[in-house]
Structure 1
Amino acid sequence: MTGSGDHRLDLHVLGPVGFTVGDESLEVGRRMERTLAVRLALACGRAVPDEAIARDLWGDEELEPERVAERLRVLTHRLRRALGEHSSAVRREGGGYALDAGMPDADALDEAMTRSAGLRRTGEPKRALAVITEALARWRGPALADLREVPFAALEAAKFDELQRELRVQRVELELDLGIDVTAEIERLVMDYPLDERLTGLAVIALYRAGRQADALERIQRLRSRLADELGVDPSVATTELELQVLRQDPTLQAHETPRPSRLPDLNWLIPRDNFVGRDEDVHALVDELDRPGLVSIVGGPGAGKTVLAREVAIAVRRGNRPIAWCDLAPLSTGAAVAPALAAALGVDPGVGDPLPECADRLTGALLVLDNAEHLVDSVAELVRSLQWKAERLSILVTSQRPLRLRAEYTHQLDALDPEAAAELFRLRCRSEELLPGDLRVAEICAAVDHLPLGIELAAGLVRTLTLDQLAARIHQRTRLLVAGNRDSGARHSSLRAAIDWSHTLLDPPARTVLNRLAVFAGGCTLDAAEQVAGGNGIEVADIPVLLADLHERSLLTVSVGEGGRRYQLLESIRDYALDRLGRDEDAVRRVHARWCADLAGRTERYGGADHADLDRELRLEEANLRAAIEFALDDDPPLVLQIVTPTWWYWWSHGSIDTARDWLRRALAAADPEPTLERASSIRVAASLTRNSGQLREGRVLGEQALQMFRDLGDERGHGASLVGLAITSVAVRDYEQALKEASEAAEIFRSLDNQRLLGTAENVVASALRGLGRTEEAGELFEAVCELWRSQNDLRGLAGTLCNLALVHHQLKDYAGARADALQALRIYRDINLTEGMIDAIDLIGGVELAEGNPAVALRLLTVGRLERIRIGAPQIIPDELDAREGAEAEARRQLGSAATAVVADARAVPLSVIAAELAFAT
């Protein structure tokens, strides 16, 4: 209720802002009050923090928190007074304000976009055209016309302008396909947006269909000239292909657009489940709802069968030849991981740039299932909003214990099975011909678990070891115990807790122990990992595969097959339960798990070789386990943290967690015994490297000198030399090339005496970098060439690629641009093969410099912009001075040559992932 009556407060924004309650119009005269109302209404009933309101209403004006609070109190008082008897729509909540109001004209646009897209997909263009025409008629003028001087309102208005433009374009597309003369409207649109290739393409098709082939070709030539003059770019591939179609009078120009082939991964595991029971009506209802673009959420409690139902719905949708994508959110612990997880599920590189545009493109026309979203609803809601805006004809199916609370969300509540369906499911899962319909014992068992599918499956799994009478007696006692309140089931449904507890109690002791121990894994595990962590202390390792099979058969364990092979994982509720059952043994099992992670880390220390991509993939699959082990060991066993993080430092650096890894090392070093050891010295040296490579050169030098002194005191020549190399790199970074030459040369002598070719290559690479910094360029080039041969002899791909980048800069400085390009491209291909992000950035920067030198400033600026943004994302700035000077100088010169056209180039580059650029260059001849 917003005041008297049952009508809600509505804001109308497609024109000057208007306020209504039912048929009554309200006058809100002051602009700031209208602005505040719009800002709150956009939050869909959620509270907006004071600081966010202040920032959007008053911009960069510096205000004390007390002053902000006072101004907002005055402003909300005025808004309430203007709303009169509907003032209760404005409410104070937490540290902000909320407005209970709708935006019906904006909501109608969302609905129109969804409906029209669905009608187009189902071959009903006339109805789609009517929907879009009706939507366009809702505009009363420019959206938020009276608030456009307010910065945040101007941004929102721009979104509505873009939506209006999109609707106009879609109307033209539909009218064109329906044979309606759209010449005048297309010409108006092209005049408004002369560089829009999509509009020009529609104009070309209209001219061609009117028999004006020459005019159609002239229109493309006019666009080509304008793009070259104003932006310095060529038409897109789509425009070029359209020109060829016109020239060859391609008959498809007279046909409707054919759907694009799917670029989504095959879901071979998505097969119908045997004896799917009790949810046929749910499947039919959901398939009907998902026949058009939109958002549907299956909402229900734990064990209700949300995921199983979603699988059956996806299978039914796929039978209609519609692409399907599936993303399981259960392993994720933070909202920040949602977008990368989706990217990974779609085969898009999640570690490079913003993956959502590419995800949206791949999802065009598809059904996306986001499974297990209840613990990340805010982040999932944000992802859904973004995808719905970016992707065409996309339907999204979410499974969650609670809805996302989005306006366009259709919620399908999933309750327990009806008694008859529950009994049938139990009988089928038991696979017993002796059980007849109407058996009272079956009804009793199903009722004891509230007719929830998970509880029924767990119960049926025990029939092979218990008689039906024994099972019925035990389940009844267990349920009565829980209802009596003697056990706290927390947030879990008590009947589900009862099913898990009872099933756990009746497991054989070895299976029970293995189940509990598996709970320490985050994100699942391989068979080898299960054997090492769950085996021992009374459990024979040779028995683990059989026990895992038993747990899987009892629905207590899931098995999946992916890029890392077969993985075993507990359902979330069962994992929580099993952790509780570990009790006092939990710390001991977690120590075993952490030691397993340390062993894994130790195997990856020699990175950069031919198996680098395999090492990277293995760590990526086990990242959740590594993080869980590190967080546990920080409090329990700090030296174990050093054993995990020190060998894997390169992985955290490559995947944008350089600050996190440095913090882990700092905390562990501070908590561990300060007694000098080789392990501690190595960890300090790695901390120095991470600190230096994050741009903190002074602190990096201090840590590097600590490591050097500790290795000296311990008499470890290898560590001594490695520390000197790190210090030499820091000296290069601060332009002290003489000191760098001294330190790196000393390190080279140490490694030469140790006959350690790999570390000798590292040291001489830094020697050559110091020579290059001193202006001894040709001498540096000769040494870099020799180091490349050394890397080749060692089959060290990372070392070779790094030295090739150094050699490319030498060639560039000597104005041998062909040599610079060849070396940089070779390095890029290696880095791409071994999935080393910072290396790809270095190579792309170098190629950008070559493009500028060869007279291609737009190409150069595009490459340099992508590289710069990726450095920011992974937190690894460029620290080598002549490399930094070359990169920044090239970007500045490219911007100077392009002038105002540079803005468009940079804007385009922001939307291009590093992986796309790397692939373009790597496959170029």
Structure 2
Amino acid sequence: MELAVRVLGPTVIEAGGTSVRVDRPFERALAVRLALAHGSGVPDDTLIRDLWSEDAAAKPVERLRALVYRLRQTLGDHASAIRRTSSGYALAAEPVDLVAVDALVGADQLDEALQHWRGEALADLRTFPFGALEGVRLDALRLSLRTQSIEAKLATGQSDPAELEQLVAENPLHERVVGLSAIALYRSGRQAEALQRLAGLRKALVDELGIDPAPETIALELRILRQDPDLADQQTVRRTGVGRSAFVGRDSELETLLGLLTSPTLITLTGGPGMGKTRLAREITAAVQSRNGRPIVWLDLATLGVGEAVLPALAAAADVEAGTGDPLPRILDKLGGALLVVDNAEHLVDEVAELLLRIRSKAVGLAVLVTSQRPLRISEEEVHQVGPLSREAAGVLFCSRSGLQPSDQIDLICEALDRLPLAVELAAGLTRTLTVDQLATRIQHRLRLLVSGNRDTGIRHSSLRAALDWSHSLLESPGQLVLRRLAVFVGGCTLEAAEQVVSGDGIHPADVVPILVDLTDRCLIGVELDGEGVRYRLLETVRDFALECLQAAGEETAVRRRHAEWCTELAARTEKYGGSNHRELLSELSQEEANLRAALDWSLGPDGDSGRVLAIAAPTWWYWWSRGLKEPAQDWLRRAIEIGKPERTREWGVALRSLATLTRYSGGYAEARVLGEQALELFRELGDHIAEVSALVGLSITSITLQDFENALAQGRQAIDKAEPLDNQRMLGTAVNVTGVALRNLGRFREAEEMFTRVRDLWSDDPRGLAAAHNNLATVAWQFKELERCRELCLESLRLYRELDLSEGMVDVLELLSSLEVEEGRPAVALRLLTVSATQRLRIGSPLVIPDELAARARAEELARRMLGPDAAAVITTAQDEPIAPVVDSLLA
């Protein structure tokens, strides 16, 4: 690296041992933020978010470029250290003090690691968003290292009382620190002072934070009070419970596994990183020992390298002395009737499987428990997958570890951490430095925050990133490629989508399936089965990690572009909505909504393509409208139209027409007319007659909303004339339908009825169109006071809409039924239906815009309120919380 950056104190930047002055704070902050990426590119949006608050960065991309230019000027001869990569700006620099600390901590040289702090980390950059966040993380790391150092010294009788007292003074509410000081006081014969110290902690926690001490602190207080003999043993410091989390959420698994292990068997606990496999295995061994005193042999393979021999490690674990010849017979003598636990076997599954095949049949009464991220795949093996905790258990674990009371914020934090036990414990540990609210607002930075776990759990479990790094390092290159490319999917993906997006540049499409199977075996991706088929999904923690890998590899732009192309194809497939496959289209788009939104947001960014936005958002406008998301859909289309250069293409016309529709249903009738006319002009210029019919239909609806009924009728008839030669019944039906609506609003009910009857025939195989035709015929029947026929048509329309799960259609029918209920003397039923429909319209953003329907609804509500009098308020209060589906189902029953 060309530059060395020191962050464990005020920022220092050096080149070849010589200081490089960067006086201006923003330039210094940019240099440090890039250095923290260790030479990898950092995306522009990440830099903008980390350097400026989201609401303060006007023209953020321009500001970032200007800042980079100024930093290059300041660096002078070292300006070339900044370069532009495919994934963003990068700086040839490293935070050398942090790198040194990581190495020293890995070697258990805690005191040497602490010497690298020169004061408060990033002391001069705490006002920047990333500086505040990273500073808190480094504060927590320093405190954790100091605590671990003191704990280790206390365990060997070498602790410095002054150092411990200073740490307590600096962190008077840190239960682990205060607990260690209480143990030190007790051992020096000062029991009363130890109890007083813990009582003071209890009072301070209640007075200042409003919480009770953690169960571990309470247990320690009782042990001191009872003068527990174990507390006098120097080696029992780590067994005092200080900092140890409760074992929760696995009771049923624990009992099931204990039952299986009473007889000779081979069980493998599989699960992704941070799932708590080792912890579960430890609880099993503790229970086995306490219940029957069975011999335990614990073989931890974490320290062995890939491909290293397992047999010598097993001999050492079984306490078999080295000697000449094969040690296996002597090992078998030790294993008879024992429980053998083989921990962390994922990188040595072949070697472990081979060894177990040799010993299982020869060791009498041997039960074997293996923990591994992937199964051994031998015939005797029984695999038990260890998954995330339940929501309740995750909350209990967090509260047990932090000493806090349950809350919705804690539940949200646990959900953001996928309820992984390791992540939950690490997050709970931060609550002695951060409030729950502060942690919740920063939890999206989970990989950077969740560090500094207990060192005695091993380096892999000291941080969420370390656990993921270990799993990632065991993958071969194709597996790493596929894992990081899957990160562009939000909410999972189908196999076909994965094949299209992750293949290429080193991955053949035919190789995707076996790689996905391998990643599933390693519990790095999950598989969901439903009526639609198989879906692959990354946990959010794994996705964060994989996305960082994608950015570091410089592949993000290329893979996101393929992802956007896939979304474009999906949008094109779903453009013709409302047919017999409407429910399937709705389900598919609902399943892929998160992916569509991610592709749209990226396409509007600096590396994206605004034309892609039009190709995705315009054909799917109907989905966003039906889901109450017309505002973001309008925003996507407007921004893409503003950014892009106007093109005389069908895609541009579809975008204008779609935006016109969304604008109309947002109340912008005049603007919708202008946009619709622009689309019509373009389609006529292109000679696209089907699109021209669609534009005329849209303009006719807009004219109806503007109560320009004659113009609406003329546009509808033009649409019919254009559609009749096209041999497209669906489009012709749309034109005939809107013409009928115009006639109905002109009071020409017989002509309207003829139109709607024709529509019913044209749309006989189109459930959505048929539902609309029945509803329009019901409206005409209402005008003719044919109440029984009106109800029959309404219920048939409602049944079709319910089958399609189209809320915007169901509310139309409920409002017409309310007029019937008022007419037949049931005002409470009418007002209930009106209230449910109004609530649903607000929820999905589908206002009523047709004048005669608006008038009928207003009349029904006025009559119902007048008939009910004071009782109307109670009806509205009860009905406004009712979901629409059960109400519709009760009407159809």
The two structures have a TM-score, normalised by structure 1, of: 0.50
Pairing 1:872–2:842 present: yes
State how far apart, in whole Å, the 2-side matches of 1:776 and 1:737 are: 11
Pairing 1:736–2:708 present: yes
Pairing 1:778–2:742 present: no
Alpha-carbon distance change, 539 to 714 in structure 1, aligned in 2, over 3 angstroms: same
State how far apart, in whole Å, the 2-side matches of 1:874 and 1:862 are: 19
**Which residue number corresponds to residue 663 of structure 2?**
691
Superposed CA offset, 1:672-706 (max 9, x none): 22122110100110110111122221121111111
* SS of the residue 1:464 aligns to: helix
Matches within 5 A, 1:520-559: 520-559=488-527
Q: Is the 8 A contact 1:798 1:831 kept in 2?
A: yes
Which of 448, 452, 471 is the matching residue for 1:490? 448
Pairing 1:641–2:613 present: yes
Which of 803, 810, 813 is the matching residue for 2:780? 810
Pairing 1:789–2:757 present: no
Q: Is the 8 A contact 1:695 1:876 kept in 2?
A: no
Q: Is the 8 A contact 2:298 2:317 kept in 1?
A: no
State how far apart, in whole Å, the 2-side matches of 1:821 and 1:528 are: 46
Superposed CA offset, 1:279-298 (max 9, x none): xx99xx9xxxxxxxxxxxxx
Aligned residue identity for 1:764 = V
Alpha-carbon distance change, 730 to 592 in structure 1, aligned in 2, over 3 angstroms: same
State how far apart, in whole Å, the 2-side matches of 1:896 and 1:630 are: 49
Note the C-alpha offset of 1:506.
Answer: 3.4
State how far apart, in whole Å, the 2-side matches of 1:921 and 1:750 are: 40
Note the C-alpha offset of 1:831.
Answer: 0.7
Aligned residue identity for 2:574 = T
Note the C-alpha offset of 1:845.
Answer: 0.9
State how far apart, in whole Å, the 1-side matches of 2:539 and 2:588 are: 22
Note the C-alpha offset of 1:537.
Answer: 2.3
Note the C-alpha offset of 1:439.
Answer: 4.9
Pairing 1:506–2:464 present: no
Pairing 1:724–2:696 present: yes
* SS of the residue 1:463 aligns to: helix
Aligned residue identity for 2:494 = T
**Which residue number corresponds to residue 599 of structure 2?**
629
Superposed CA offset, 1:580-607 (max 9, x none): 1112101110111111111112111121
Q: Is the 8 A contact 2:297 2:318 kept in 1?
A: no
**Which residue number corresponds to residue 910 of structure 1?**
880
Note the C-alpha offset of 1:867.
Answer: 0.4
* SS of the residue 2:348 aligns to: coil
* SS of the residue 1:490 aligns to: helix
State how far apart, in whole Å, the 2-side matches of 1:511 and 1:594 are: 22
State how far apart, in whole Å, the 1-side matches of 2:719 and 2:793 are: 26
**Which residue number corresponds to residue 637 of structure 2?**
665
**Which residue number corresponds to residue 655 of structure 1?**
627
State how far apart, in whole Å, the 2-side matches of 1:823 and 1:888 are: 21
**Which residue number corresponds to residue 579 of structure 2?**
609
**Which residue number corresponds to residue 484 of structure 2?**
516
Note the C-alpha offset of 1:418.
Answer: 7.8
Which of 347, 362, 384 is the matching residue for 1:462? 347
* SS of the residue 1:538 aligns to: coil
Alpha-carbon distance change, 307 to 819 in structure 1, aligned in 2, over 3 angstroms: farther
Alpha-carbon distance change, 517 to 308 in structure 1, aligned in 2, over 3 angstroms: farther
Aligned residue identity for 1:530 = A
Matches within 5 A, 1:386-465: 439=316, 459-464=344-349
State how far apart, in whole Å, the 1-side matches of 2:284 and 2:881 are: 53
Which of 824, 828, 835 is the matching residue for 1:854? 824
**Which residue number corresponds to residue 575 of structure 1?**
543
Alpha-carbon distance change, 575 to 769 in structure 1, aligned in 2, over 3 angstroms: same
* SS of the residue 1:560 aligns to: strand
Alpha-carbon distance change, 465 to 702 in structure 1, aligned in 2, over 3 angstroms: farther
Aligned residue identity for 1:582 = L
Which of 688, 712, 721 is the matching residue for 2:684? 712
**Which residue number corresponds to residue 291 of structure 1?**
none
Alpha-carbon distance change, 440 to 673 in structure 1, aligned in 2, over 3 angstroms: farther
State how far apart, in whole Å, the 2-side matches of 1:852 and 1:638 are: 51
State how far apart, in whole Å, the 2-side matches of 1:786 and 1:864 are: 30
Superposed CA offset, 1:380-403 (max 9, x none): xxxxxxxxxxxxxxxxxxx999xx
Superposed CA offset, 1:645-695 (max 9, x none): 112111111111111111111111111221221101001101101111222
State how far apart, in whole Å, the 1-side matches of 2:774 and 2:246 are: 50
Alpha-carbon distance change, 610 to 419 in structure 1, aligned in 2, over 3 angstroms: closer
Aligned residue identity for 1:596 = W
**Which residue number corresponds to residue 367 of structure 1?**
none
Percent identity between the aligned chains? 46
Note the C-alpha offset of 1:310.
Answer: 3.8
Which of 731, 755, 769 is the matching residue for 2:727? 755
Superposed CA offset, 1:2-44 (max 9, x none): xxxxxxxxxxxxxxxxxxxxxxxxxxxxxxxxxxxxxxxxxxx
Alpha-carbon distance change, 683 to 908 in structure 1, aligned in 2, over 3 angstroms: same
Alpha-carbon distance change, 529 to 623 in structure 1, aligned in 2, over 3 angstroms: same
**Which residue number corresponds to residue 700 of structure 1?**
672
Aligned residues: 497
Q: Is the 8 A contact 1:741 1:770 kept in 2?
A: yes
Matches within 5 A, 1:238-249: none
Q: Which has the larger radius of gyration?
A: 2
Alpha-carbon distance change, 816 to 608 in structure 1, aligned in 2, over 3 angstroms: same
State how far apart, in whole Å, the 1-side matches of 2:251 and 2:495 are: 29
* SS of the residue 2:809 aligns to: helix
State how far apart, in whole Å, the 2-side matches of 1:776 and 1:797 are: 27
Q: Is the 8 A contact 1:727 1:740 kept in 2?
A: yes
**Which residue number corresponds to residue 163 of structure 1?**
none
Alpha-carbon distance change, 809 to 538 in structure 1, aligned in 2, over 3 angstroms: same
Alpha-carbon distance change, 436 to 819 in structure 1, aligned in 2, over 3 angstroms: farther
* SS of the residue 1:566 aligns to: strand
Note the C-alpha offset of 1:724.
Answer: 1.0
Note the C-alpha offset of 1:489.
Answer: 5.9
Alpha-carbon distance change, 840 to 424 in structure 1, aligned in 2, over 3 angstroms: farther
Aligned residue identity for 1:580 = E
Alpha-carbon distance change, 306 to 527 in structure 1, aligned in 2, over 3 angstroms: farther
Note the C-alpha offset of 1:434.
Answer: 5.4
Which of 711, 723, 739 is the matching residue for 1:767? 739
Aligned residue identity for 1:720 = E
Pairing 1:922–2:807 present: no
Note the C-alpha offset of 1:918.
Answer: 1.0
Q: Is the 8 A contact 1:427 1:435 kept in 2?
A: no
State how far apart, in whole Å, the 2-side matches of 1:725 and 1:458 are: 68
Q: Is the 8 A contact 2:657 2:679 kept in 1?
A: yes
State how far apart, in whole Å, the 1-side matches of 2:786 and 2:343 are: 71
Note the C-alpha offset of 1:438.
Answer: 8.0
Alpha-carbon distance change, 464 to 767 in structure 1, aligned in 2, over 3 angstroms: same
Alpha-carbon distance change, 520 to 819 in structure 1, aligned in 2, over 3 angstroms: same
State how far apart, in whole Å, the 2-side matches of 1:424 and 1:880 are: 75
State how far apart, in whole Å, the 2-side matches of 1:578 and 1:458 are: 25
State how far apart, in whole Å, the 2-side matches of 1:797 and 1:711 are: 28
Q: Is the 8 A contact 1:724 1:744 kept in 2?
A: yes
State how far apart, in whole Å, the 2-side matches of 1:418 and 1:438 are: 23
User: Unaligned 5+ residue runs, structure 1?
Assistant: 1-280, 286-303, 318-371, 373-398, 402-413, 443-455, 469-487
State how far apart, in whole Å, the 2-side matches of 1:709 and 1:576 are: 46
State how far apart, in whole Å, the 1-side matches of 2:811 and 2:275 are: 39
